[in-house]
Amino acid sequence: MIVKAAIEEAVDLIGISILSGSHMTLLPDILAALRLHQAGDIPLIAGGIIPAEDIPALKQTGVREIFPPDTPTAEIVGYVRRLIETRESGSGDKALPEKV
């Protein structure tokens, strides 16, 4: 449902909030479904109760960035703006911003 809606709405990115502990299953599933539908260029970011030790594996799978509890809203907004500007300028994956 998430991937179908994202493709139909031509979204700039998908942001998922996960507090249930199922991030190691659901986030890779969403990435796999995006790739299956030739939509792997839509960036996926996430936040919620995601332990620091899980973050490297999730980013290795293709999640662009993770925002754990107590992340300042301004940091999230700044990251999303830079991500979308980078995509619109067509500079490609290599120029994707790092979280500040």
Q: Which range, of 27-35, 40-48, 56-64, 85-93, touches ligand B12 by CB under 6 A?
A: 40-48
Task: Report 46-65 residues binding ligand B12 (CB under 6 A).
Answer: 46-49
* CA proximity to 27, closest of 12, 47, 9, 8: 47
Check binding of 15 to ligand B12 (CB under 6 A): yes
Amino acid identity of 18?
Answer: I
Check binding of 97 to ligand B12 (CB under 6 A): no
Size of the site for ligand B12 (CB under 6 A): 17
Cross-sheet strand order for the sheet of 44-48: 14-18, 44-48, 65-67
